[in-house]
C-alpha cells in the first residue's frame, strides 16, 4: 500500500474531501482522519489531535462537524441550531462564529477524537 503524506492545508487546497472516491480508492461515504491545526476547538480538541470525520453521520444540534464556511474553506466547528438558523461555533471564544444557509455546507460529523494516550480517545454520537 502506498502512503502519501500531505499537510492539512494541502488537503484543503486540493479539495481532497470532495474528491475522495474519484480513483476508486475510497468511497465518498467512508470516514477519514484529519489533524486539528489550531486551538479553535479547545479544550475538547487540542491542537494536533486527530479527528475522524464520518461523511454519512447524522447531523444534530450540538454535533461537531467538518464543514465549508461562506468563503468555501473547510472548517471544524460545533453546529448549533437556534431559531431554525444554523451556526458553526468554535469552542474557543477567540474565534468567529459563522452562520450557514443550510446543511449542504456540512461535509461530515466528527465521530472520534484520537490521541497518543488511550484515555484521550473519545467517541461522539453517530
For the cut 50, the answer to whether the pLDDT of residue 1 exceeds it is no
Structural domain boundaries, residue 65: 8-22+30-123
Is residue 92 in some structural domain?
yes
**C-alpha separations of 63 from 16, 30, 36, 122 in Å:** 22, 18, 16, 14
Three cell numbers at 117? 494516550
* Total structural domains within the chain: 1
Q: H/E element holding 68? A: strand 64-68
Q: H/E element holding 76? A: strand 74-82
Q: What is the pLDDT of residues 28-39, one digit of tens each?
A: 678 999 999 999
- The CATH number of the domain where 59 resides is what? 2.10.109.10
For the cut 70, the answer to whether the pLDDT of residue 16 exceeds it is no
Question: CA–CA separation, 51 vs 76, rounded Å?
Answer: 10
Cβ neighbours around 72 below 10 Å, total: 8
Is residue 1 in some structural domain?
no
Q: What is the pLDDT of residues 49-85, one digit of tens each?
A: 999 999 999 999 999 999 988 888 899 999 999 999 9
Highest-pLDDT range among 14-18, 85-89, 112-116 = 85-89
Is residue 3 in some structural domain?
no
For the cut 50, the answer to whether the pLDDT of residue 3 exceeds it is no
Q: For 36, which DSSP code?
A: -
Question: CA–CA separation, 101 vs 120, rounded Å?
Answer: 34
- Give 90's contacts (C-beta < 8 A, 6+ positions apart): 40, 41, 77, 78, 96, 97
Three cell numbers at 2? 502506498
Is residue 2 in some structural domain?
no
pLDDT of residue 69: 84
Amino acid at each position: 500500500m502506498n502512503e502519501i503524506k500531505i499537510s492539512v492545508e494541502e488537503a484543503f487546497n486540493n479539495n481532497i474531501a470532495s474528491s475522495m472516491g474519484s480513483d476508486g480508492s475510497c468511497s465518498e461515504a467512508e470516514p477519514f482522519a484529519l489533524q486539528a491545526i489550531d486551538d479553535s476547538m479547545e479544550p475538547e480538541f487540542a491542537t494536533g489531535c486527530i479527528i475522524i470525520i464520518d461523511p454519512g453521520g447524522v447531523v444534530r444540534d450540538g454535533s461537531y462537524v467538518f464543514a465549508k464556511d461562506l468563503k468555501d474553506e473547510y472548517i471544524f466547528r460545533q453546529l448549533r441550531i437556534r431559531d431554525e438558523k444554523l451556526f458553526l461555533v468554535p469552542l474557543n471564544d477567540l474565534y468567529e462564529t459563522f452562520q450557514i444557509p443550510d446543511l449542504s455546507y456540512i461535509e461530515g460529523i466528527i465521530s472520534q477524537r484520537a490521541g497518543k494516550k488511550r484515555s484521550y480517545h473519545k467517541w461522539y454520537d453517530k
